[in-house]
Amino acid sequence: MSCLSLLVALSLHIGLEGDYNNVHPHARCTIDNTIAGVYYNSESNVGAYIGQKFEMPFDSELEVGLVTGYTGEKVVPMMRITRNNWYLAPSYEVSPDNNWGITIGYEFKLY
């Protein structure tokens, strides 16, 4: 049995000023609660990540880890809450105002 999943996520970036990519093809390997993958990120770069999933109330999960592929940084922390293919993640934008926002998305599993 393979750990591989192929997915596409659609996202909306709220509270940020930049013009961000909203379509994210994604390959992920999940073994037990460990996740690792590559995806086309909001800055139109390929990023790689590794992390852990934790069960949460209301049939949701918390994913935390480290990710690459963002401008000016080699590795940054990642976090998102998922439920029924929906996800919510904090977002940070390096700009004159250094904005914080939120990313809301929906992820389709292709394989």
Secondary structure of the chain as H, E, C letters: CCCEEEEEEEEEEECCCCCCCCEEEEEEEEECCEEEEEEECCCCCEEEEEEEEEEECCCEEEEEEEECCCCCCCCEEEEEEEECCEEEEEEEECCCCCEEEEEEEEEEECC
pTM to 2 decimal places: 0.89
**pLDDT tens figures, 81-102:** 999 999 999 999 887 778 899 9
Domain ranges of the chain: 4-109
**pLDDT tens figures, 44-91:** 999 999 999 999 999 999 999 999 999 888 999 999 999 999 999 999
Residue 50 tokens read as: 């590794």
